[in-house]
Amino acid sequence: MYIKSVIAGAIASVGIAAAALAADVKVGFVYVGPVGDYGWTYEHDQGRLAVEKHFGDKVETVYQELVPEGADSERVMTQMALQGADLIFTTSFGYMEPTINVAEKFPNVKFEHATGYMRADNVSTYSARFYEGRAIQGHIAGKMTKTNKVGYIGSFPIPEVVRGINSAFIHARKVNPDVEFNIVWIYTWFDPAKEADAATALIEQGCDVVLQHTDSTAPQAAAEKAGGVITFGQASDMAMFKPTPRVSSIIDDWAPYYIARTQAVLDGTWTSTDTWDGIGPGMVGIGEITSAVPADVKAEALAMKDAIASGDYHPFTGPINKQDGSVWLAAGETADDGTLLGMNFYVEGIKGDVPQ
Amino acid sequence: MLKLEKRLQQSKKWIYLSPFLAVVITMISGGILFTILGENPFEAIRIIFWDPLFDPNFASYSRPQLLVKAGPLILIAIGLSFGFKAGVWNIGAEGQYIMGAIFGAGLALAFYPMESKLIFPLMIIAGALGGFLWGMIPAFLKAKLNANEILVSLMLVYVAESILASVSQGLLKNPDGYGFPGSRNLQKYESAANVEIISNSGMHWGVLFAFITVIFSYIVLTRHIQGFNIQLTGEAPRAAKFAGVNPTANIVFCLGISGALAGLAGMFEVAGPSGQITIEFNSGYGFTAIIVAFLGRLHPVGILLSGLLIALTYIGGELAQLMLGLPGASIQLFQGMLLFFLLATDLFANYRVKIGTN
């Protein structure tokens, strides 16, 4: 590519400049939301801070927040690479193609893209099995709802989000055959105003449990205001809403992964990989289940968590039918990762369609 | 005591002076903001306004990026300026931009994987047509039912966003994309790719079109009867009526041309820098272009300069975040100040400041 030679020259000059600095490795982070969202981006930034703390002077980190997905993110990544970053984490699904494009131009820089599926020699992917946490949420939601209506705020109808809805729904139905899910799509990861509107609309429709797959605490605040509604912290603990409305949470813990990958770059052992870890390895954490949850429900939830962590239980274990009634998993069969990664259908019992 | 006295006529001098004054005041206030955030204000301002153009490490990359960012802003803003001069308020360029991209990409994907030299020119026509048709909806409703074009065009942005979400997951979805939303990458489809005309210059076909449009609109506004009609309608609607200007034709022309140019911008973006139709494809160019149009005084050359300036604050702002670790919101605040001070300094064009008690 024509741009390569120019950029190669720029890399060389940056390389010389970087060598003079104290840090051995520079790690960049590209965030879709603000670091203060107390959700998705907040936890990635906690991971970044953990890297700084762990390596001290050996590693320097830089980050950029509120980076729109698409062409703008490509420029941000390029500038990071030009500035001398050795390892760049791009932490949103929409950065996938830009990450691949920039990685092509900087073969000596390592890239890690969260939640995507495109890899290259210098591009790894990583994600967490959030659906394991969703199973526990679904169980608590099914037990605790009095109106039998659970609201679900969806961001984008991509497999990761659809998978979470299915996992929560299966486990809610298991303990409460009358439960229904009301799902709204707001087409954004982070927009407190839209998230609050969606939560309020769901509560007005009679939902007394609101689950969210968006990054801000706005739905928590809306639930607190309405009263009598329970929620779960998403991506981060959102502990400021304890003990209600937030009764538990799914916590993404990226710190160990970020430290391990930075170490690999320091050691020169970094290779392109695909990581998808859950509760067992600790990438997905379950935040404190508060006193608002009855003791027996809490005990069941914790037992499920332990069973998932040990590998004894897979949240997608048959018999499970697809929404149209056709068999997806026979009794005792568990879902394979390939199907889960591309999941674009609802399971039996969910009303409405995955937007197409 | 300071007193404001209304000028009988707008001050020509201040119309051109106030954008510069606004930039200077923004730099000073921004400097204070950055000082409060614990940064050296001179360094921050230098990184925003100077480094993207002249820093030895970044400039070779960010100078071309300036054109990439400014191209769609200028293209859309020129289109909007026709309507704004004539009192036709198209606030929905973002929607027309989306529809242009969908039409352009849709046409390309219909031909995929056929290679032909005709595909790209056809995409240009399709992109302009998409934006034009989307602009014709508020034009029709305004002409026939006198519906407010500000509201209609703005609301149509949200309709366009919904259509964008729908085609990203359905009609235009990449069949090899594992069920994830988003179209094929047009950068990898040779016949449809909007490539740089000169290597590493940032000068893709859309930027060239933007420059041509600047010249074209300058000629129309200064030499053509339609330009005269537009100015007249904006400044003296009754006089325009007596002069035989057809108000319906005027609305159709203004919304049509701004829609078509916004559609073109969207098509060039999807075939080039963005490459893909995705749910979050649009990133606010259609709204930012409104600021560009006014900052440029609705004058073609002014819009060219203000488009480049706004692009510079974006790219420099990103650099400042990266180099100094400034919060993203502080850069947005800085950009907001620019518009705020522009509106504030506009006061001097219409009023005279007098010192005294009488």
Tens of pLDDT, residue by residue over B41-91, are 999 999 999 999 998 888 888 899 999 999 999 999 999 999 999 989 999
3-state secondary structure of B117: coil
Rounded to 5 degrees, what are φ and ψ at B353? -90, 125
Mark yes or no for CB contact A157/B169 under 8 Å: yes
Q: Which of B56, B169, B178 sits opposite A13 (nearest CB)?
A: B56
A24 and A68 in a single domain? The answer is yes
Total residues found in chain A within this entry: 356
Mark yes or no for CB contact A71/B321 under 8 Å: no
Which residues, at least 6 apart from A179, have a Cβ–Cβ distance to it below 8 Å? A141, A142, A145, A148, A149, A150, A169, A172, A173
Which two tokens mark B308? Answer: 């480049």
Domain total of chain A: 2
A328 and A201 in a single domain? The answer is yes
- Sheet (strand A274-277) strand order: A59-64, A25-30, A87-90, A110-114, A123-128, A274-277
B196 touches chain A (CB under 8 A): yes
Percent of chain B with pLDDT over 90: 58
Mark yes or no for CB contact A82/B325 under 8 Å: no
Instruction: Choose the final residue of a domain: A96, A128, A160.
Output: A128
Residue A74 lies in a domain: yes
A120 and A164 in a single domain? The answer is no
B273 touches chain A (CB under 8 A): yes
A111 and A9 in a single domain? The answer is yes
B170 touches chain A (CB under 8 A): yes
Q: State the CATH number of the domain containing residue A101.
A: 3.40.50.2300
Q: How far is B180 from chain A (nearest CA, A)?
A: 6
Mark yes or no for CB contact B274/A71 under 8 Å: yes
- Residue in B closest to A27 by C-alpha: B322
Percent of chain A with pLDDT over 70: 94
- State how far the alpha carbon of B204 is from the alpha carbons of A10, A306, B71, in Å: 22, 56, 9
Residue B311 lies in a domain: no
3-state secondary structure of B198: coil
HSE of B58, CA atoms in CB hemisphere, 13 A: 28
A102 and A163 in a single domain? The answer is no
Identify the weakest region by mean pLDDT among A49-58, A211-220, A254-263, B216-225. Answer: B216-225
Residue B30 lies in a domain: no
Model pLDDT for residues A102-157, shown as the tens digit of each residue? 999 999 999 999 998 899 999 999 999 999 999 999 999 999 999 999 999 999 88
Q: List the domain range (segments joined by +) for residue B241.
A: 71-303
Per DSSP, helices labelled H in B146-284 are: 149-169, 205-223, 225-235, 237-242, 247-271
- Residue in A closest to B187 by C-alpha: A101
Residues of A in contact with B280 (CB under 8 A): 68-70, 94, 187-188
Residue A346 lies in a domain: no
Residue B255 lies in a domain: yes
Strands B2-6 and B351-355: antiparallel
Mark yes or no for CB contact A7/B61 under 8 Å: yes
Model pLDDT for residues B220-248, shown as the tens digit of each residue? 988 888 888 888 888 888 888 888 888 88
A82 and A204 in a single domain? The answer is no
Model pLDDT for residues B267-291, shown as the tens digit of each residue? 999 999 999 999 889 888 999 999 8
CA nearest to A277, candidates A255, A262, A298: A255
**Residues of B numbered 68-107 whose beta carbons fall under 8 angstroms of chain A's beta carbons: which are they?**
68
* Residue A19, Cβ density class (10 Å: 0-12 exposed, 13-18 middle, ≥19 buried): exposed
**Residues of B numbered 301-330 whose beta carbons fall under 8 angstroms of chain A's beta carbons: which are they?**
315, 318-319, 321-323, 325, 327-329
Residue A118 lies in a domain: yes
pLDDT bin (cut points 50, 70, 90) of residue B357 is low
Q: Model pTM?
A: 0.84
3-state secondary structure of B147: coil
Give the other-Cβ count within 10 Å of B24's Cβ: 12
A301 and A153 in a single domain? The answer is yes
Please name the residue that has the structure tokens 């729908």: B166
Domain total of chain B: 1
Asked if pLDDT for residue A196 goes beyond 80, the answer is: yes
Which two tokens mark A353? Answer: 């369609």
Mean pLDDT taken over chain A: 91
Mark yes or no for CB contact A187/B276 under 8 Å: no
Residue B31 lies in a domain: no
Residue A97 lies in a domain: yes
Q: In whole angstroms, what is the distance from residue B41 CA to residue B45 CA?
A: 6
Residue A275 lies in a domain: no
Q: List the domain range (segments joined by +) for residue A92.
A: 2-128
